[in-house]
Amino acid sequence: MPIPSTVVPGVRGVRRSAVLAWLAVALATATAALAAPAAPPGGRQENAASRLIAAALADSQAAARLAELCDTCGPRLPGSAGLDCALAWALARMRADGLAAVRAETVLVPHWVRGEERAECVAPVRFPLRLLGLGGTVGTPAAGLEADLLCVRDFAELEARGGEARGRIVLFDQPWEGYGKTVQYRARGADAAARHGAVACLIRSVTGTSLANPHTGVMHYEDRADSAWTGVPMIPAAALTVEDAGRLRRLANRGLPARVRLYLGARTLPDTVSANIVGEVRGRERPDEIVLIGAHLDSWDVGTGAHDDGAGCVIVMEAARLIARLPQPPRRTLRVVLFVDEEQTQAGGRAYATLHADELARHVAALECDSGGFPPVGFSVQADSSIVARVRELAGPLATVGATEIGEGYGGVDISFIVAQGVPGIGHRVDSPHYMDYHHSPADTFDKVDARDLALSVAAVAGLAWALAEDPAPLRPPVPAP
Amino acid sequence: MPIPSTVVPGVRGVRRSAVLAWLAVALATATAALAAPAAPPGGRQENAASRLIAAALADSQAAARLAELCDTCGPRLPGSAGLDCALAWALARMRADGLAAVRAETVLVPHWVRGEERAECVAPVRFPLRLLGLGGTVGTPAAGLEADLLCVRDFAELEARGGEARGRIVLFDQPWEGYGKTVQYRARGADAAARHGAVACLIRSVTGTSLANPHTGVMHYEDRADSAWTGVPMIPAAALTVEDAGRLRRLANRGLPARVRLYLGARTLPDTVSANIVGEVRGRERPDEIVLIGAHLDSWDVGTGAHDDGAGCVIVMEAARLIARLPQPPRRTLRVVLFVDEEQTQAGGRAYATLHADELARHVAALECDSGGFPPVGFSVQADSSIVARVRELAGPLATVGATEIGEGYGGVDISFIVAQGVPGIGHRVDSPHYMDYHHSPADTFDKVDARDLALSVAAVAGLAWALAEDPAPLRPPVPAP
């Protein structure tokens, strides 16, 4: 099957001829596989879900697909050739899987580029610093900058020592206290330091475990048009490795504060056109009622975004492929959405909510996979308790793959914009003690994903998605259009 | 106490004035601490060992010392300012500890420098490759080199596909099968590839666990004066991360072999002068009988050599400090030796054996710590079975710190040259499931060392060293000089 050279309006043509030639051959093989005997015929509802789970475990292409995506396209930063490659790949794969209405829905996305980066401690002892600029940071002046370091533990210590920050680089060597708490320094550290006159901000990478791998992630500048921030410069921000941050802090504790030289070549270019990728299994009885299963196709520009969120993408793609192969489609429409730009501005999730505003009343559920390719433990349901209870009933057959924990909780970032409009949100929950070791770092690569774990998650998501789409009563009744 | 500006003959003066000023203050404090009340008086032999163990656990300065060494001197490649700093530090610390005959014994060491390094996969998809040149490698041509990759699993596959290697870069993507087996590709891969006409050699880093951290280590070229190797070029060699090696292999398996661009700025300069650092607790009865405890002060030039082998250095230094504080010295002389150049040519170990040739008959044992700063499990004894049995008896009190496994085994690299001349060798054995995660990589830093684990090892080494030095009968009778 030929691959269109420009499949997404406005997106640059994919320039990787060798990869595309290979993909064409690979897809021909996959298309042939679709002519194989269909999955066992469905029986009673629970039996059908169980058979779907068994099929997912026996015939999961998820790991092979994830390797394709990660190895041949690479990381997928908005505006990059890697994301363009991934968009083309996802469209081609969904079409080969026999999904209906496969399409790219245009989304305007930010276009931040990292550029070259380097840093070193120049005194009292000279050593290179490993770092990654934070997503969205401004660059340093072209000649770089050099300043004494002020090392603080947290925002409270910065406030107490604010008078020392002027003209310095502030390092937040904050201890790891879980993502939700620690990530605040990545998000808001630069502005907090800039308020006190700092010229740049460094943080300890947001992780509890490190092998000298720095972790990036998005940071934010408050709106300088807001009078509270007028005149505060936007200063560059980067994450050091845990190792380097610790060494600088220990030197400071000895009375040997460091002097640091920093160069970040980061730039923010004009927004660029990208897309959400959508495909469907049309419902046999109520095709206008929709069960959405989604993940995000973009990633950071280091590693290859294998767990975050290549894994989620192939889980939902594989779940849809298996459901499309059933002897009959489920009652409602299953819609797969690969969102773009989760990591930076969530433009994909917003765009979906806008473009599909008139359909949201008939979205009976939205399930997001963005927790990594680990074994499933259950689902968190962002809806009222009667809906949580019904999801728990529907998820009964998933006990065979370990997805037993169904409780109230967060659905997901991409779906949050439609959840805010009343769509029940469902988040894929996994057993992932090592997720943060890899997260947003060069270590988030295919070799970290276990094929069996991924197949178990495909089974859990396929089973629940099918049950939601087949359930005689919808998870929530269709809401009359306003 | 003032620090001599050039403490080692021929070694460049240490240029780190801020670090030295700080060190002077820190040493004054440590010297004052020596005036504190002495450790409890010794009683029967086993009680004395037990008290020494208790003192090691109650008053271990090992972790603080390791931080000093790693953070203020940094990595310690022969010929580097970091090693010069460490030599000065060790001399000053041993003197402050009250050791006798503290001295630097000159050793001529290799002077390999890494220089700048960079590599990327340029086709079929462009991405940067993280790598470290192997210790001792030649550099690439000044413009770098670019060639197609031949990816093989092992030597056998290279031999089978030797005809494909000419003009290519050979990548050994060898699976991790333990250090002893896997390290052969690091040591001998370049020459094996060069025999088949390859222009460079890459290996997968020698580790079972990776977070995108490359691991270096020494490699060897066979002597080109040997007729078997005449005319075979010496080609550059580097270790990729596990992640990048895996991606290149998977691309090759898809029929998408990579083209790689490589630049290594490595050079080997003329040998340079460095030193082993030696200090003693003079024996009260038989000062000419020697129990040697040693470790190596050099490290690779990435990370800060915390586990390999800063930990060993502070363990033996701390053991000697505690023994020097006992109300009376042990019967024999305890000699601490911090060897130089373990990692590359073992010049320190060889030089010690040569310089002390006439004393070796009176070395009753040599104990080496080069297994990392982890909790002790026991000691391996490189001597005949009666000596193993006696060490097992002497080590009885060490059960309280978990050092219970006393068996026949390897002593250590640095002491191997005197063990070869009949000195019983004793290797410090630890529980170190994560040692290879850090080994020879940027992740071998102080934050990976647990202070309590280190103190337990100090206790084990101090206890056994004291018992060996105090034992009424020597572990082996003095050998008449030849």
A212 — contact with chain B (CB < 8 Å)? Answer: yes
Residue A346 at interface with chain B, using a CB cutoff of 8 Å: no
A352 plus A456 within the same structural domain: yes
* A345 within some domain: yes
Question: Angle between the B45-58 and B451-470 helix axes, to the nearest 10 degrees?
Answer: 160
Question: Closest to A211 (Cβ–Cβ): which among B73, B255, B441?
Answer: B441
Residues of chain A in contact with residue B73, where contact means CB-CB under 8 angstroms, are 125
Q: Is residue A221 within 8 Å of B423, Cβ to Cβ?
A: no
* A441 at B interface, C-beta within 8 A: yes
**Cα dihedral B307→B309→B312→B314 (10° resolution):** -90
| Contact assignment for A443 to B243 by CB distance below 8 Å | yes
Comparing C-alpha atoms, which of A62, A66, A65, A97 is closest to residue A452? A62
Task: Indicate yes or no: CB of B16 within 8 angstroms of CB of A124.
Answer: yes
Residue A317 sits in the same domain as residue A250: no
Is residue B208 less than 8 Å (CB to CB) from chain A?
A: no
**β-sheet bridge partners, residue B405:** B378
Inter-chain touch A447–B243, beta carbons under 8 Å:
yes
> B212, A211: Cβ pair inside 8 Å?
yes
- The verdict on A398 and A434 lying in the same domain is yes
Judge: A256–B72 Cβ closer than 8 Å, yes or no.
yes
Of A19, A125, A443, the CB nearest to B212: A443
- How does DSSP assign A224-277, residue by residue? TTSTTTTT-----EEEE-HHHHHHHHHHHHTT---EEEEEE--EEEEEEEEEEE
Whether the CB of A16 is below 8 Å from some CB of chain B: the reply is: yes
Q: Look at residue B147 and tell me if it is in a domain.
A: yes
Full residue range of the structural domain in which residue A376 is found: 17-110+271-470
Check if B16 contacts A (Cβ < 8 Å). Answer: yes
- Shortest distance, CA A354 to any CA of chain B (angstroms): 35
Does residue A10 fall inside a structural domain? no
- Residue B397 sits in the same domain as residue B323: yes
Strand residues in B139-241 grouped as ranges (E): 145-152, 169-172, 200-204, 237-240
pLDDT at residue A43 in the model: 44
CB atoms within 10 A of CB B29: 9
CA distance B343 to B299: 7
- The answer to whether the CB atoms of B212 and A303 lie below 8 A apart is yes
Closest residue of chain A to B435, computed from CA coordinates: A211
Residue A116 near residue A265 (C-beta atoms within 8 A): yes
The answer to whether residues A97 and A131 belong to one domain is: no
Contact at CB, A211 and B438, closer than 8 angstroms:
yes
> Is A254 within 8 Å of B72 when comparing Cβ atoms?
yes
Q: Is there a contact between B243 and A445 if contact means CB atoms under 8 Å apart? A: yes
Alpha-carbon distance of B47 to B138, in angstroms, equals: 55
My answer on whether B350 and B446 are in the same domain is yes
Strand ranges (E), B84-140: 100-113, 117-123, 127-129, 131-133
User: Domain of B397: which CATH number?
Assistant: 3.40.630.10
pLDDT 10s per residue in chain A (482 long)?
Answer: 233 333 333 333 334 455 555 555 554 544 443 333 333 333 456 678 888 999 999 988 999 999 999 999 999 999 999 999 999 999 999 999 999 999 999 999 999 999 999 999 999 999 999 999 999 999 999 999 999 999 999 999 999 999 999 999 999 999 999 999 999 999 999 999 999 999 999 999 999 999 999 999 999 999 999 999 999 999 999 999 999 999 999 999 999 999 999 999 999 999 999 999 999 999 999 999 999 999 999 999 999 999 999 999 999 999 999 999 999 999 999 999 999 999 999 999 999 999 999 999 999 999 999 999 999 999 999 999 999 999 999 999 999 999 999 999 999 999 999 999 999 999 999 999 999 999 999 999 999 999 999 999 999 999 999 999 999 999 988 776 55
Q: Which of residues 402-431 of A touch B (CB under 8 A)?
A: none
A95 touches chain B (CB under 8 A): no
Is A438 an interface residue toward B (CB < 8 Å)?
A: yes
Are the CB atoms for A264 and A143 separated by under 8 Å?
A: no
| Partner B contacted by A389 (CB < 8 A) | no
pLDDT value at position B49?
82
> Which pLDDT score, from 0 to 100, does residue A16 have?
46
In angstroms, the separation between the Cα of residue B16 and the nearest Cα of chain A is 7
Contact A343, A220 (CB under 8 A): no
For B127, nearest residue in chain A (alpha carbons)? A74
What DSSP assignment string belongs to A417-437? HHHTTTPPEEEEEE--TTHHH
Residue A249 has, within 13 A of its CA and on its CB side, a CA count of: 21
Is the distance from CB of A439 to CB of A307 less than 8 angstroms? Answer: yes
Give the integer Cα–Cα distance in Å for B462 and B326.
11
Q: Domains in chain A: how many in total?
A: 2
Comparing CB atoms, the residue among B19, B246, B437 nearest residue A256 is B19
Could you say which residues from 26 to 85 on chain B have a Cβ atom under 8 Å away from some Cβ of chain A? 26, 67, 70-74, 85
Contact of A121 with chain B, judged by CB distance below 8 Å, is answered with: no
Residue A348 · residue A342 · CB < 8 Å: yes
- Residue B173 sits at the vertex; the CA angle it makes with B167 and B178, to the nearest 5 degrees, is 140
A419 and A396 within one domain: yes
Within a domain: residue A386? yes
Q: What are the start-end ranges of the H helices in A74-114?
A: 81-96
- Interface probe with B: pick from A15, A27, A71, most Cβ of B within 10 Å: A71
- What's the burial of B191, exposed, middle or buried (CB within 10 Å: 0-12/13-18/19+)? buried
Flag whether A448 is in a domain: yes
Task: Reduce the DSSP state of residue B424 to 3 states and report it.
Answer: coil
> Is residue B478, in this structure, part of any structural domain at all?
no
Does B354 share its domain with B446?
A: yes
CB distance B198 to B148 below 8 Å: no
Same domain, B153 and B283: no
Residue A15's pLDDT is 40
The answer to whether B464 faces chain A, any CB pair under 8 Å, is no
- Whether residue B479 is contained in a domain is answered as no
Asked if A72 and B304 come within 8 Å (Cβ–Cβ), the reply is: no
Do A247 and B73 count as a contact with CB atoms less than 8 A apart?
A: no
Question: For position B279, what pLDDT does the model report?
Answer: 98
Q: Which residue of B has its CA nearest to A211?
A: B443
Q: Which chain A residue shows the shortest CA-CA distance from B126?
A: A74
Contact assessment for residue A427 and residue A379, using Cβ atoms and an 8 Å cutoff: yes
Counting one residue from A and one from B, how many pairs have CB atoms under 8 Å apart? 123
- Chain A residues whose CB is inside 8 A of the B74 CB are 125, 127
Residues of B with a known catalytic role: 342
Are both B333 and B193 inside the same structural domain?
no
- How far apart are alpha carbons A254 and A58 in whole angstroms? 59
Residues contacting B47, CB < 8 A, separation 6+: none
Considering only the beta carbons, identify the residue of B70, B212, B446 that sits closest to A442: B212
pLDDT at position B59? 81
Rounded Cα gap, residues B162 and B12, in angstroms: 47
ipTM: 0.91
Residues B357 and B322 in one domain: yes
Whether A157 is catalytic is no
| B-interface mutation test, from A19, A89, A117, A243, most B Cβ less than 10 A away | A243
Most B CBs within 10 A among A76, A149, A151, A211, hence the mutation to make, goes to A211
Bridge partners, A294 (sequence order): A337, A368
Please classify residue A287 by burial: count the beta carbons closer than 10 Å to its beta carbon, then call 0-12 exposed, 13-18 middle and 19+ buried. middle
Of A265, A294, A309, the domain-final residue: A265
Residue at which a domain ends, from B205, B234, B265: B265
Residue B332 β-bridge partners: B286
Final residue belonging to a domain, choices B237, B265, B293: B265
Q: Is A18 on the interface with B (CB under 8 A)?
A: yes
Map residue A461 onto helix, strand or coil.
helix
Provide, as residue numbers in chain B, all residues whose Cβ is less than 8 Å from the Cβ of A22. 124, 254-256
**Which among B69, B71, B216 is the top mutation candidate for probing chain A, defined by the most A β-carbons within 10 Å of its own β-carbon?**
B71
Residues of chain B with pLDDT under 70: 1-46, 480-482
Q: CATH number of the domain that A245 lies in? A: 3.50.30.30
E strands, A169-245, where?
169-172, 200-204, 237-240
Which of B18, B85, B211 is opposite residue A211, by nearest beta carbon? B211
Interface of A with B in 298-317 (CB under 8 A): 303-304
Interface contact A125-B246, CB threshold 8 A: no
How distant is the Cα of A285 from the closest Cα of chain B, in angstroms? Answer: 42
> Is residue B240 a contact partner of residue B130, using CB atoms and an 8 Å limit?
yes
CA distance B176 to B207: 6
Task: Tell me the angle at which helices A81-96 and A311-324 cross, rounded to the nearest 10 degrees.
Answer: 20
* Residue B10 maps to a domain: no
Q: Which of B373, B361, B379, B348 is nearest to B278 (CA)?
A: B348
Nearest beta carbon to residue B130 from set A241, A254, A442: A442
Residues A284 and A431 in one domain: yes
